[in-house]
Amino acid sequence: MKEVEGALPNTFTTRTAVRLGVHSRDLYAWRDDGRIVELSRGVFRRADAPVASYPDLLAVAHRSPNAVICCVSAAAVHDLTDELPAAVHVAVPTRSRAPRIEYPPTTAFRFDEDTFELGLSQLEAAPGESVRIYSPTRTVVDLMRLRGRLGEPLAYSALQRYLRSQLAKPGLLLDFAGRLDVYGPVRRALDIASAG
3-state helix, strand, coil in the chain (%, to 5): 45, 20, 35
At residue 167, the pLDDT reads: 84
In this prediction, residue 5 carries a pLDDT of 54
Which band of pLDDT confidence, cut at 50, 70 and 90, is reported for residue 39? Answer: very high
Amino acid identity for residue 17 in this structure: A
Q: Which pLDDT score is estimated for 77?
A: 96
Mapping DSSP to helix (H, G, I), strand (E, B) and coil, where does residue 196 land?
A: coil
- Give me the pLDDT at residue 1, please: 42
Q: Is 88 helix (H, G, I), strand (E, B) or coil?
A: strand
pLDDT tens readout for residues 89-120? 999 999 888 888 899 999 999 999 999 999 99
CB atoms under 10 Å from CB of 19, counted, come to 10
- Local structure of 192: helix, strand or coil: helix
Query: What proportion of the chain, given as a percentage, has pLDDT over 70?
Result: 96
Closest by Cα among 176, 104, 164, 107 to 135: 176
Q: Chain centroid to CA 124: how far? A: 11
Mean pLDDT score across all residues of the chain:
91
Amino acid at 21: G
